Amino acid sequence: MNQPVEHPSTPVLPVAKRGLDLIRDPLLNKGTGFTERERAALGLRGLVPPQVVSIDSQVNRVMENFHRQHGDLDRYTYLEGLHDRNETLYYRVLLSHINELTPIIYTPVVGQACSQFSTIYRRTRGMYFSADDVAYFAEMVSNWPEDNVEVIVVTDGSRILGLGDLGANGMGIPIGKLSLYVVGAGLDPQRTLPIMLDMGTNNAALRDDPLYLGRRIPRLTGPAYDTVVEAFVRAVHARWPHALIQFEDFSNDQAFQLLERYRRQVLCFNDDIQGTGAVTLAGILSALRITGQTLSEQRIVFLGAGAAARGIADTIVAGMMAESGISLDAARRQIWTLDSQGLVTLDRLDSLSEHKRPFAQNSPPLPDLLAVTQAVRPTVLIGVSGQPGSFSETVIRAMHGHCERPILFPLSNPTSKSECTAEQAYEWTHGAALFASGSPFPPITRGGHLLVPGQCNNMYIFPGVGQGVVSCRASKVTDTMFYVAARTLAGLVGEDSLTVGRLYPDLTLIREISVQIAVAVCELAFADGLAGIERPADLETFIRKRMFVPDYVSYAV
């Protein structure tokens, strides 16, 4: 095996731990990668096998064992075991095999992992805050050892992907999201913190499960819920005043309220609303490069009217206004949304949730997606309903009847919830669909032509936005930052990708994508007076130097 070679330029890190304490620290552990000199000086002789192994050889061993696992949940658990033992190697593996492993550590397999999180739980990662401890939150944050946390991802487990209320089992989401932050934008893993707000659960099966690790009470609501969130925000902001808080997988009744309540108080955003909006807009902009049309020409129908739909719709509206100068009201009139009662219309205004009202159409009632498709004649169809198969053959063929290149985005996760598959979309449009989904689908060859489905993956957006705002110490996260991120991402799609219908860049380029998005976000923050540092002479170099690279450092001995 190739042994690691120490170069004069290799970073040298002082280390206080020795022996088993060093091996048991996942942030410091190298396993068989410790050099002979380190083994001698740090009390490691005899504690690891005698062969000194390079990190690339370790990656090969990991992948060989990964492929021996019997199912996706076993693969997820295996990788999380590595995460718990050796974080540098874990991230090196992910970065080296990003297309293969991202669906395992996040969508779609993370949904299965969350469903069984209490069963597969091995080792604590992150923090748990519950109403039982609300009086101690300010004290609890001191239990976390890192003084310079930069990004916190928090969920209350109420709406995990398309799976609903999973209570404390939802902790798999912040863990996975922060792994994507590290892989995608080079956030220092030591400066990330996953958090679960355990508000109880309305999932009776979980409350009755003897292995469930969360609070076995009905989910808190109203003032009791608000008290826990407020205490949490105050505690983490007091301990880490510059940390970005990302709200993740909160139910619709809370997602909008929390974002509006805290976005002007602390550095925060909601990825389900703003991140999903930006990555979807980027995909549409890429599709319009193929059709040669403008954004403001589109007629856009949403199946589903929750947080994701509102976030996407708001971002599209911002794009229309920036592109063509049309008014807010005119842009909103280009968007139709359906909820469980049919088309969202003005005659339902009194019964509509607040987040649905801006997109209520002055239209007669229409009961279902087919009726709306026939009446509106959409050019873009976006699914955020969690209703598998709801983009039926009848609906898609009806859309294709009036639209030469239908833009179809069935975004519900995981794969089992997708409104249609890539194969169906291409089959029912004779290969004309411009397709992107929430979960990945494989390429398809049709009539001798390769068609590559896009994955409308928030990973293209949130890591770069997060790196940007924490790098320049922005005072707040704005909607314009997400619009700029979407434009930047769409501009990075090459002509060769568009030729095969791919609407997003290859995920192997994610670090370069994130650098460009981070630079664009920083530029905007400096221009708008939101940055908390002096502008570096070379902003791109500044961002790149901050990025964590999963290579072993040499320990000072």
Question: Is the CB of residue 195 less than 8 Å from the CB of residue 266?
Answer: no
- CA atoms of 152 and 442, how far apart (whole Å): 33
Mean of the pLDDT values across residues 270-298? 96
* Backbone angle region of 444, left / alpha / beta, with phi > 0 → left and psi within -120 to 50 → alpha: beta
Mean of the pLDDT values across residues 51-64? 98
pTM of the model: 0.93
Residue numbers annotated as active site: 106, 177
Over residues 26-50, the pLDDT tens digits come to: 999 999 999 999 999 999 999 999 9
Domain span(s) for CATH 3.40.50.10380 in the chain: 104-266
Domain span(s) for CATH 3.40.50.720 in the chain: 274-456
Mean of the pLDDT values across residues 268-276? 95
DSSP string, 327-338: -HHHHHTTEEEE
In which band, very low, low, confident or very high, does the pLDDT at 489 lie, cut at 50, 70 and 90?
very high
In which band, very low, low, confident or very high, does the pLDDT at 6 lie, cut at 50, 70 and 90?
very low
Q: What pLDDT does 390 receive? A: 97
- CA atoms of 330 and 456, how far apart (whole Å): 26
pLDDT of 493 over the 70 cut: yes
Kindly state which CATH superfamily the domain 274-456 is placed in: NAD(P)-binding Rossmann-like Domain (3.40.50.720)
Residues 6+ apart with CB under 8 A from 301: 335, 336, 337, 338, 369, 372, 373, 376, 378, 380, 381, 382
Over residues 431-447, the pLDDT tens digits come to: 999 999 998 899 999 98
CATH level 3 topology of 104-266? Rossmann fold (3.40.50)
Q: What pLDDT does 485 receive? A: 97
Length of the chain in terms of residues written: 557
In which band, very low, low, confident or very high, does the pLDDT at 10 lie, cut at 50, 70 and 90?
low
* Residue 310 C-beta-side C-alpha neighbours within 13 Å: 22
What residue spans of 106-221 are helical by DSSP H?
109-115, 117-120, 137-140, 172-185, 204-208
Question: Is the CB of residue 422 less than 8 Å from the CB of residue 434?
Answer: no
Q: What pLDDT does 414 receive? A: 81
Token pair, residue 28, equals: 């410091």
Mean of the pLDDT values across residues 412-421? 90
Question: Is the CB of residue 415 less than 8 Å from the CB of residue 439?
Answer: yes
Mean of the pLDDT values across residues 256-272? 96
- CA atoms of 173 and 196, how far apart (whole Å): 9
Over residues 392-409, the pLDDT tens digits come to: 999 999 999 999 999 999
Token pair, residue 272, equals: 């389900």
Q: What pLDDT does 5 receive? A: 45
Over residues 106-150, the pLDDT tens digits come to: 988 999 999 999 999 999 999 999 999 999 999 999 999 999 999
Residues 6+ apart with CB under 8 A from 27: 87, 88, 189, 190
State what percent of residues in the chain have pLDDT above 70.
98
* Residue 107 C-beta-side C-alpha neighbours within 13 Å: 24
In which band, very low, low, confident or very high, does the pLDDT at 7 lie, cut at 50, 70 and 90?
very low
DSSP string, 516-545: HHHHHHHHHHHHTT--SSPPPSSHHHHHHH
